[in-house]
Amino acid sequence: MRKTSILSGSCGAALLTAFVLGAASFGCDSSGDENPGGGGSATTSSGSASTGSTGTTGGTSGSATGTGSGGGEAGTGGAGGSGGAGGAGGAGGSGGAGGSGGAGGAGDGGSGGAGGAGDGGSGGAGGAGGSGGAGGAGGAGGSGGAGGSGGSGGGTPDPTLVVHYTFDETAGTVAQDVSGNANHATLIGSAGWTSLGRTGGALSLQGADPYVELPAGLTDALDDLTIATWVKLSSIDTWSRIFDFGGDGFMYLTPRDGDGALRLSVFKAVSEDEAIVAIANPLPVEVWKHVAVTIGSGTYQLWVDGVSIASITPPPPDDVTPSRIAPTLRNYIGKSQFVTDPLLKGYLDDFRIYDHALSAEEISSLAAP
The pLDDT tens digits for 210-256 are: 999 999 999 999 999 999 999 999 999 999 999 999 988 999 999 99
Q: What is the CATH number of the domain that holds 320?
A: 2.60.120.200
pLDDT of residue 155: 62
Residue 312, classed as helix, strand or coil, is strand
Question: What is the total count of domains within the chain?
Answer: 1
Question: From CA 155, how far away is CA 180, in angstroms rounded?
Answer: 11
Task: Write the DSSP string, 105-127.
Answer: P-PPPPPPPTTSPPPPPPPPPPP
pLDDT the model gives residue 216: 97
Question: Does 120 fall in a domain?
Answer: no
Q: Please, are residues 187 and 175 in contact by the beta-carbon 8 Å criterion?
A: yes
Q: Is 216 exposed, middle or buried (0-12, 13-18, 19+ CB in 10 A)?
A: middle
- With cut-offs at 50, 70 and 90, classify the pLDDT of residue 317: low
Q: How far apart are CA 84 and CA 230, in angstroms?
A: 105
Residue 260 zone, left/alpha/beta (φ > 0; ψ -120 to 50; rest): left
For residue 250, is it within any domain? yes
Distances (CA, A) of 68 to 8, 28, 51, 56, 320: 175, 59, 5, 15, 168
Average pLDDT (22-41) is: 35
Q: Is the peptide bond before 322 cis (omega within 30 degrees of 0)?
A: no
3-state secondary structure (DSSP) of residue 76: coil
Residue 361 domain flag: yes
Exposed/middle/buried for residue 269 (C-beta within 10 Å: 0-12, 13-18, 19+): middle
Closest CA to 369 of 282, 255, 262, 288: 288
Chain mean position to CA 150: 7
Whether residue 139 lies inside any domain: the answer is no
Average per-residue pLDDT for the chain: 71
Residue 230 lies in a domain: yes
In a domain, 293, yes or no: yes
Tell me whether residue 96 is in a domain: no
pLDDT in tens, 276-315: 999 997 799 999 999 999 999 999 999 999 999 999 998 7
Query: What is the tens place of the pLDDT at every residue in 64-118?
Result: 333 333 333 433 434 434 434 434 434 433 433 433 433 433 334 334 333 333 3
Mean pLDDT for 20-49 is 35
Q: Which pLDDT band, with edges at 50, 70 and 90, does 37 fall under?
A: very low
C-alpha–C-alpha distance, residues 252 and 3, integer Å? 15
Mean pLDDT calculated for residue range 140-153: 39
Q: Which domain holds residue 303?
A: 3-25+163-366
Phi-psi region of 152 (alpha: psi -120 to 50; beta: other; left: phi over 0): beta
**C-alpha–C-alpha distance, residues 315 and 4, integer Å:** 9
Is residue 140 situated within a structural domain?
A: no
